Chain A
């Protein structure tokens, strides 16, 4: 079986992984990225709306500063933002986006050629830089180009299987080459997990098919905690039916949300910020309207009305979503409102890390030497209980750079880990026995069951009873997976059914953590809303949830206080 050796191995080639690689190359020569889809197909490529930085380039935003950005982010995060991390994020934002400008991101411009900025929900001033509504595409492609320039080794279509660890160091990773089906070992001096989000575990989701939280599941299986997983952000405007995202930029440019009476109902929930209130508020207001029968024709969607915007705004500033409305809802947004519903969008939680991206060991205060995480897979608590739009691309590139540097420095000091033949053989057996699965439960059907459970019982509104039910249902699906899975495709070459099975196994792993964390948190805060505990409880619950898998496979929960300080 094949083995590769590199100084630094980065798993994931979205904005975070690509940015980390660029930063790392300043310190080490031998950097590799492993990605289960070609890096240019990573989810980051589809991010639409923008990236935040307090440049103050527009007339309306000229008084902006990192402090205002900091305050907005803290306020949006509803009591769970760690102030030190948020200060790093907001202070560093201008530098991070100017670097992207240097790398050639095709940012939209003001008349005099400066970086234009537009409003976004929860941000009081227009602070979002954007490349039409293809911001993620522009950023990922520019970062990819830098990777080519710097000679980073990219292993496209390699699927991460596991971490190889001994004591408190990581020796490398195991992966399988999707194309050949062969198990491959990567030994490394340090490793970064940048595997992205996990919202594919939900029925309606705006994320791409690859956002299956593989890194989170692999962390849990290795005794690494995950943090704040109960905080899943639902985005207000998924296209009804499919969940495809209609960017918040549509409301940033002036779009209205209407109920069946044609009423701009947000005026009853947050008259000051209206449609640009923080996402958790907008989503709850929408779900409320739907639940009280004010969905369009009494159904479960509402209208996003852009008919009053100019053709120029629609086709120059919002071309992608105008096209998406046409292609997937058969609606011309200049004439007809777009049918929308809340869609699972982003995971505020993730693998807990220090400000340099070092993965935390079990208890507070101890970290891994050479294992790092970045991007949506990591939890820095910069978003707290609710992320503001445009802050996560910022997190991915800004912390991607920091983490890339730190990991490269660790690699310079460290020894290359050992990857044993046994490790590879064990993984090969695991794939072999999955391939031999000959029950009657199909991967797609089991995945749909999980997604329905998560959306209906662990969605915008939750309750103890529903979450208990969800936990039981997940257990059933896990059992079915273990005992009665069926794969049609028995071959090794490009077996995407095998890939989906591995992803489902991973989703079942972290889904339990989401439900568990949500069940224990008997309050409502940010994106987590309990119908049976509708109040926020700062006395008891201004804390971060840590969930770890114990010896017997059950989850252990612990909590740590929020870090607040003088910042801002």
Chain B
């Protein structure tokens, strides 16, 4: 038994004058294959067999590299971790795919992530204030100290959270949940020495931790199940007590 799956994909090519628009594609999938089909599989098949100009990013194919976040049926998700069956599309409905909101679009589903990574650099994503190269004592870290940052270390910089944040939509200088999660990860690493420079950057009414209004979109968006808001709240505490 074959099943016809319908897709509506947001297309945009800056070199054409057509502007942003939706295009429909149909894919015949066997009942048996359907259970395993991810949105990324479908996109790759459409690209390779129908329209080679359909454009999206992907690398690892299994939710580890953070390349393939996009808006799928109104939710930010990783295409490679989203199974078509789980979207419960039936007769007459579509799998609708658009680029991540809140980011400038380069082409089709590919967004410009320059500012996003710029924010990541601003929060100093490294051990700060320590000679990391010459001192070769084995620095210990208790399992408890590791636990404190563990959840935040799982971030793959996919952008799903920041893209879902209304504060970020209004103020693109706001660091956004991803950079704040990453800031917590480095600030609270027991091996980090210099806390003040980073706290100086985070302690900002509009662009830093205080920009977070707890809308919770980001928590729902994170494909890694990271409780972004809880981490930002914790980070606020670190900033206050600094």
Which A residues form the contact surface with B (CB < 8 A)? 26, 37-38, 40-43, 45-46, 55, 95, 98-99, 101-104, 106-109, 111-115, 131, 134, 137-138, 141-142, 144-146, 148-149, 156, 179, 208-210, 241-242, 244, 320, 323-324, 327-328, 330, 442-445, 486-497
Contacts and interface: CB of A to CB of B under 8 A. Distances in A.
A79 to B, nearest CB: 34
Contacts of A444: 44, 47-49, 52
Nearest to B107: A494
A254 to B, nearest CB: 21
A138 B153 contact: yes
A491 B53 contact: yes
11 contacts: A41-B66, A102-B132, A106-B149, A109-B142, A137-B156, A148-B125, A149-B126, A179-B106, A323-B63, A494-B106, A497-B47
Nearest to A329: B36
A164 B138 CA distance: 43
B141 interface: yes
Contact of A146 (B13, B126, B189): B126
A46 B60 contact: yes
B226 to A, nearest CB: 13
Nearest to A445: B48
Size category, B interface:
35 or more
A567 B40 CA distance: 49
B23 to A, nearest CB: 13
A216 B133 CA distance: 31
Interface string B31-50: 00001100000001001110
Contact of A101 (B110, B117, B139, B186): B139
B61 A148 contact: no
Contact of A320 (B48, B64, B153): B64
Among B16, B64, B156, max chain A CB count under 10 A is at: B64
A148 B143 CA distance: 28
B49 A442 contact: yes
Given A442-B52, A443-B48, A109 B141 contact: yes
Given A40-B157, A106-B146, A442-B52, A113 B110 contact: no
B59 interface: yes
Interface string B128-148: 101111011111111101100
Contacts of B63: 323-324, 327
A487 B48 CA distance: 10
Nearest to B45: A444
Contacts of B130: 102
A497 B52 contact: yes
A38 B49 contact: no
B30 interface: no
B196 interface: no
A293 to B, nearest CB: 23
A104 B15 contact: no
A93 to B, nearest CB: 13
A16 to B, nearest CB: 17
Given A40-B157, A328-B62, 16 more contacts: A38-B113, A40-B65, A45-B64, A95-B136, A101-B138, A103-B127, A134-B153, A137-B156, A148-B121, A149-B128, A330-B35, A442-B52, A486-B52, A488-B52, A489-B52, A493-B107
A107 to B, nearest CB: 8
A319 to B, nearest CB: 9
B187 to A, nearest CB: 11
B162 interface: no
A275 to B, nearest CB: 23
A487 B47 CA distance: 11
A242 B61 CA distance: 10
A495 B131 CA distance: 43
Nearest to A143: B126
Nearest to A486: B52
Given A489-B52, A491-B15, A493-B13, A103 B138 contact: no
A41 B51 contact: no
A49 B104 CA distance: 37
Contacts of B16: 491
Given A38-B117, A115-B138, A208-B60, A328 B106 contact: no
B67 interface: yes
A99 B110 contact: no
B39 to A, nearest CB: 13
B2 interface: no
Contacts of A497: 47, 52-53
A41 B58 CA distance: 9
Nearest to A57: B138
B217 interface: no
Contact of A98 (B125, B136, B192): B136
Contacts of B157: 40
Contact of A113 (B131, B141, B192): B141
Contacts of A494: 55, 106-107, 110
A491 B13 contact: yes
B8 interface: no
B59 A209 contact: yes
Contacts of A493: 13-15, 106-107
Given A40-B157, A108-B146, A45 B53 contact: no
B48 A45 contact: no
B204 interface: no
Nearest to B53: A489
B56 to A, nearest CB: 8
